[in-house]
Amino acid sequence: MGPFNSIRHDDLSLPYLQRALAELPNLKRNRKIFFVNGWLGAFIGGQRSEEALNIVNKFLADNPNLDNDLRLKILENVDLIERAVKIRAKYGKN
């Protein structure tokens, strides 16, 4: 999923972020837990926008009963977006 989720294509992959997050419980349920880190790293790691950050935060807020291990994995991966959004807010987009 790496090339699809490249930060150079974040505008193309952003519409799939919500669906990728929603698929996490299914991935875990089907014993693909080792795939989850790669899945999150690809989909979240390819984003740097405030819109993507809002999608992830809304997903977390809308799913309070999400397994704690999945929640922590999301939080770990979303750190990159949070940092990018803060830097862009302070220094501009370029």
Report the Cα 94 to chain-centroid distance in Å.
Answer: 22
| The two structure tokens encoding residue 76 | 């770990």
Task: Evaluate if residue 94 carries a pLDDT over 80.
Answer: no
Whether 62 maps to a domain, the answer reads: yes
Whether 12 maps to a domain, the answer reads: yes
Whether 2 maps to a domain, the answer reads: no
How many whole angstroms separate alpha carbon 27 and alpha carbon 30?
5
Q: Which residue has the higher pLDDT, 72 or 46?
A: 72
Domain, as residue range, for 43 = 7-91
- The mean per-residue pLDDT over the stretch 65-89 comes to 93
Task: Evaluate if residue 49 carries a pLDDT over 70.
Answer: yes
How many whole angstroms separate alpha carbon 37 and alpha carbon 41?
6
How many whole angstroms separate alpha carbon 51 and alpha carbon 10?
11
Whether 1 maps to a domain, the answer reads: no
pTM listed for this prediction = 0.86
- How many structural domains are present in the chain? 1
